[in-house]
Every structure is written in C-alpha cells, then in structure tokens.
Structure 1
Amino acid sequence: MKQKRTSVAKTDSPLRVVLVTLDNHVSGAWSRAALQLSSQAPSLNVSSHAATEWDRDPAALHATRAAIAEGDIVIVTMLFLESHIEAVREALASRREHCDALICCMSAPEIMRLTRMGRFRMDTEATGALALLKRLRGGGDKTGRSAGAQQMTMLRRLPRLLRFIPGTAQDVRAYFLTLQYWLAGSETNLARMIAFLISRYAGDTHAVIRDAMSYEPPLEYPDTGLYHQRLPDRITDDPKLLGKAAKKAVKGTVGVLLMRSYALSGNSAHYDAVIGSLESRGMRVIPAFASGLDARPAVKAFFMDRGEPIVDAVISLTGFSLVGGPAYNDTDAAQEMLEALDVPYLAAQGLEFQSLQDWESSSVGLMPVEATMMVAIPELDGATGSMVFGGRSERSAGEKFDMQPAPERIGRLADRVARLVALRRTPVAERKVAIVLFNFPPNS
C-alpha cells in the first residue's frame, strides 16, 4: 500500500491512461473510477475504447489508434479476434518503446508479447522470476479444482512471493497486481489500478501527478459467488444471505449464470430485469457466477447438492459456452456437467457487438461473430432457447455503454422458463408431447 500527500496535483502536461478492450462492459465503472481520481489529478486524462465498436464505426477505430499514439500508460485486454488484433497491433507496437508502460493481458499471444513494464518484457525468454508466469496455466493440482480456480489462487499468491525479490521481479509483481485489480473490476478496484500504475510507471514528465497518487491493494471478492441487487453488497458466497434477499419459491427454482465482471462493475440492469421477471412468476432465482470463463464451479456450488440438482432449470446469460469464452471452449466438459445436472438449459444473449437499436433495425439480426460465439457454440454444449434479452442501448438514460434490458423479450424468456419448470414438475403420465416435422428440402 502506498500513501502519499492528498493535495491536488497541478501540472500543465496531461497524463493519458488508455484502456483498449473487447467490449464496453466496464466502461461505466471505468469512467466513474476516472472521476474519483480527478480530484487528486485534474490533468489526468483517462479513456476507454472497445473493439466491438470498430467494425460499425470507423471513427471509433481512428480514435482508438490516436489515443494509443498519445497514451502514457496503455492497458490492453481481451483482444482475441484476428480483425481486432490487426486493427491495432501496429499502433501498439509503434507506441511500445515511447510510452511509460504497455500492459497487455488475457489476449492473443501476438498482443501479449508487446507488454513492457519497466524491465519486464514478454517478448524475451522466461527466466528467473519471469518463468513464474507459466505457473498460471494451472494443472498439477490434486484437489480437483478447475484450472480457473488454480490460476486465481496462484494470481493472489505470486505478488506476495515476489514482494521481496529485487530487480525485474518487481515489475512481474506489478503485472500480477494489475491482473488482480482488473479481474476484480469494481469501480473502486479500477480506480486503484489506475493509481497504482501511475504511481509506479509514470515518467518524470508527470512527476507531480505520480508523486501525488495514493493507492490501496485490490479489494477481494468471491471467485465463485451469488449476485442479487437486494443483497447488502450485491455479491456474496453465502446462500443463506441470498435466501434472505431473494423472493421465496412458489412454483420452482431457476439457476441463472452471470458474468462476474458485469456484476462487479455494476453493469447489471439487464440481469436485474431477468431475475425480477422470473421472481414475478413465482420462481426462486439463484443468480450465480464463477471467475474466468468456466461456470462449472458455480453450478456445483449453488445449483447442486451432493451431486443432485436443486434447480428445475438453468439459464446462462453469459453469452459464452458453459466452459470457455471467445478464445476457446470445452464442449465435452460442458456436456458432462449438463448431463450430471439433467435439467433444461437455456442460453440467452446480451448484445455487445451492436446496440439493441442496430439489431432491431437490421435485416441480418445477429452478426456472424455473435451467432457463432453466443448461439452456435452454446448449442454444441446442449443449450436451447436462444434469444436476445438485452444489450447496449443508444437510448440509455445512464452510462452510454451500460447494458439495458429488453423488457418484452425478457417477459417471453421468463414465460418460457416457467413453462419448462411446470413441465418438469408434471408427472410423466400427464405430459403431452408435440412433434413438429421440418419440411426440408422444400417441395420434396
């Protein structure tokens, strides 16, 4: 922890912190974090840029490249798609040796290799402290925990191990601390991350701001936990607390899988609407999340008891496979988990690559990347009932890029789930089966 004077830093030279990431899910929290820091450093210039904007808005890509070209501290995350990588790789490479720090996380290898933080560079051979990076790959754990859980444990442990090792190890430690701040990306942690990076890496040109900055360690949140807007802190890992906040079940229980990052950043209006709509239909809702992109720990912890399901249906609102994300998926592992769960499993989509208004006016509907990532891959797992339930809205009254619900579609989703729950609770002899024959090829 670093504590310094809290007087306002005065300088004529703006310090530019630039975030380049896949989508806008932290944009609201990021701008609020920047506002927090503005009291310490009025000349601080903080911006965020989402790759999902670039295809539909060439001006957004131009603004991203311009921001990179002037950025003093540049942070890059979640760039996996080739079109996104190629759009900014040259700009990042050109800026690398001229900025104070370039931090690339959770992206394709060609982006990760551009990382430069003090003496730590990812394009050099991993030796000494740098070799510890390989430990984050997981494996070798005898407890049966997922690779994501192993990696999160190691992520917390490494900064403590590296704390007293001099030299490059301190920059490696800074990299891992940055990951900790980002992966627990609440408004508070994002502000602390920005302050930490400025304090450590801002150059002498911005010494006034650098020396005025104070920061705290990352706030820790559950890796696997529960979310509800009526919880005191909105997040917990105690099912008893959820029981006090959520409405009691009348007609059944529904598990809802969420993205931890959206819940932490406060960008959750679309989730709240789904939860509320299900509760209004007499459902007990268990909204759960897991760290990383493997939802199995949440399923095992909160949707099952002693290997048996305690829910009547599960809805995934993550937009990804049950096990995997934009860069990979493990269909076999997902199918094994769903087979053990043995309840209806639906996947609904929140739009990030386009706005709700763009989608509604489009003759195409979902973009190819959305149809692949959000529909086709989850269906390989065994998901059904794909439908859009919310997304970014150009008519948002709050933060421009925060997610908004699509009320009519959420109502349809809740009705569909309620009927599936009722069917599951109906004795087998009383169920009615309809068969629909698909006329393909036509006129045959």
Structure 2
Amino acid sequence: MFDALTEKLQQTFKRMRNKGRLTEADVKEALREVRLALLEADVNFKVVREFLGRVEARAVGQDVLESLTPDQAVIRIVRDELIQLMGSHVERVHMASNPPTVIYMVGLQGAGKTTASAKLARMLRHQGRQPLLVAADIYRPAAIDQLKVLADKIQVPVVTEPSKTPVELAELGKAASRRMAKDVIIIDTAGRLHVDDDLMGELEAMNARIPANEMLLVVDAMTGQDAVRVAEAFKERLPLTGVVMTKLDGDARGGAALSIREVTQLPIKLVGSGEKLEDLEPFNPDRMASRILGMGDILTLIEKAEASMDREDTQALAEKITKADFTLDDFRAMIDQVKKLGPLSKVMEMMPGMGGKMAKMKDKVDDRSVVRVEAILNSMTKKERQRPEIIDGSRRLRIARGSGTTVQEVNRLLKQFDEIKKMMKQMKGKKGRMRMPRMPFPPLG
C-alpha cells in the first residue's frame, strides 16, 4: 500500500545524502517534498501540517546540521515521528479479567467485518483462547452463511438464529459461551452503506444489554480519508476501543493508516494484509514506520517464518545447504517453504531496501512465475532432480513440453541452479561477502 509514498521519501532522502552537509534551507526544502508525498498519499492535511511541524522543530537543530551524517539524522527523526503518529507502541486486544471477553466488530457494510471476525477468532484460537462467533448481521444476504463457512475452516462454533434480533443474538452468544466454556465472544454486527441513526441505535442497544470489553471499528484502508470520517462518526455515538484496518495490501495510497490515530485518538489494533484467514496481525507502529521508509520489516518476516514453516524440514534444508549438498529436490522444498510466508511480493516488501522498489517490480515479481518454476521441477524425474547434469537436450525438450514452458526457460532455471550451488560452495569454503545469484522468480517467459 505504501509503495508510492516509500519511493518518494527515498528519493527525497537520497537528494539530501548527495548534498553532504545540510543547511537549514536544505532541510526545509526536503520537508516540502515530504509534505507533497504525504498529501499525495491521502494523509489528512491537518495531520501533515502538525507532523512536519514536529519534524522541522527537531531537524533544524544544531545537532542535526552539524552531524557528519545529517541525512541519517533527519531520517531517524522522520521515523520517530511516524511511530509517534501511528501510536508509538503495539496496542493488543484487551482480554477481560473475568471471562468471557465480549468483542463487537462494527463498521459500514463492505469494510470486511465478517472476514475480520473470523480472522480474529483464528488468531485468538492460536493464542490458546476459546473463541465463539455470533452472527448478528441479519440484514445482509448470505452474511450468516459466509461466517459459518469461515468458522468451519478454523473450527470455531457460530451462534445464530435468523428469527432473533441482534440484541437477542448477543444475549444468546453470552449464554452459549458459558454453556460451551468459551472465553471470548466475537459478535459480527450488521453494517450500512452509510452512517445512520438506525445502525447506531441498534449497536447502542446491543452494548447496553451485553457490554463490550472491546468495540473494534473495522475500516477499509482503501477508502482513504473516508475511513477517518467514518471513525469520527462512530466514535461520537459508540465507546470504541480501537480500529481494525482491512485491505492494507491493496493499491490505495495509505493515508488512512497515517491519519486515523492522530485524528480520532483511537489505536489501530489489528491490520488485515491479505485475503487468507491467517492474514491478520497486530499493528506495530515501529515496524510500519520502517517499512514506509524502505527499511524493511525483518522481525515480522521472522515471526511469519516461525509460525508457518516446518521447523524440522527447515533445519534439514539448512544442513544440506551448509554441506553444499543441494539438489533440485531441495530447491523445490525451499520454494514450498517460502510460499508458506505468503505472496512473494509481500515477502520482498519486508526486505530492507525493497519497499520503494516494489511499485516498479510488481510486474516482475509475480507468484505465477514461481508456479512455472515448480512446473518445470515437477516435470523432471526423481533421478533428474538428484543429478541435473544428466539432463541433455532431449530431456530438456521433454521437461519443457511436460511443464508447458520452453526449453529456454528450462535452460535458464538449470543455469541459475548451478549459480546457487557455486555460491553455496563458496560460502562453505570462504568467509566474507558473496555476491548472491539472481533467483529464478521473475517471469521466465
């Protein structure tokens, strides 16, 4: 989402770096560029003004202007202020000291409340909680069926009864949680196409009968400043405790994520970064600021790896790599492990220095190209994957036909595999920096 903003910020800081020593005029000129980048990213103009006021007050100080690396000092200040803007620390979903914890998911229709409810239930279940879902959206066609389908995938029970009112459904959920020994109740409420009195009155009545421990507003990040206005309207009537921002992986400019905390004083607690049920994570301002500035997010990448990769398989693969005993079978296994982290473009966004480049590379970094590599590997025999040196011209033609690719693509993959093996031998026999070979993930065609 922040690709365009990241690229513009990196260009601005690069120009600062090329100047060597900075003057106060240089800093102010750079901050004008930052202002334009933030406004183009659809950040609230009042937020931009206050944010840059704080940055400028710190950036024109003597410690920065007399620094040997003033550009790095300014980047650090911008990063610190971005973190402060988005909340300074991680805000977790609060659990009641006396279960069950009651969580209301509220928001407009189309924001993704139903999917976010199921994602939250899955997250809590993996944390050792016992969640229960309540389908209280009795107005939207198929809303109840959608929640049932999602709940079935994560093996979480759903309480629903179409003849009941939303208030009665909330009561049913509370009673069912005690009967089933569930410690968290997640209530998927109805939405509207716009904020109105009927919607607010219904939510107020539900909360009056079954008080919330958490009332989370679900907003669509792709709606930009509309998401901020919706948050303000809901906050006027309801005791909101935080925000769940969905579709953070979309192509919107990202202004809502940078504005909503400052404008509403509501913490962003969770963000949805994909369509899969596992694509929900706590919002970390520190890591998000690093990603916006193109510094990557290695910690999140490590956490994803630990959660999704098979530890024994990964350890076995690491041992083969250290012994330089690496085959095409191992390479295929490595691809399978990487795929568990999510789309390749999202993984690369978390790598330091890649954030701003992703906007240009999206056409080149395509998960369909990974599928083509897998097709080539799967078209080989076991013996060919173990001993690729036996793959002659006729075998390459057979592999290309079997995988729906070309002989040139097969040749390219084999050449790149040889480069990887050479690199591994160098890493085993020598110390120091080694040039990484180009991985065969860009389109092969």
TM-score normalized by the length of structure 1: 0.31
Q: Decide which structure has greater helix share.
A: 2
User: Higher relative contact order by CA 8 Å / sep ≥ 6: 1 or 2?
Assistant: 2
TM-score normalised by structure 2 residue count: 0.31
Which protein is bigger by CA-based radius of gyration?
2
Which structure has the highest strand share of the two? 1
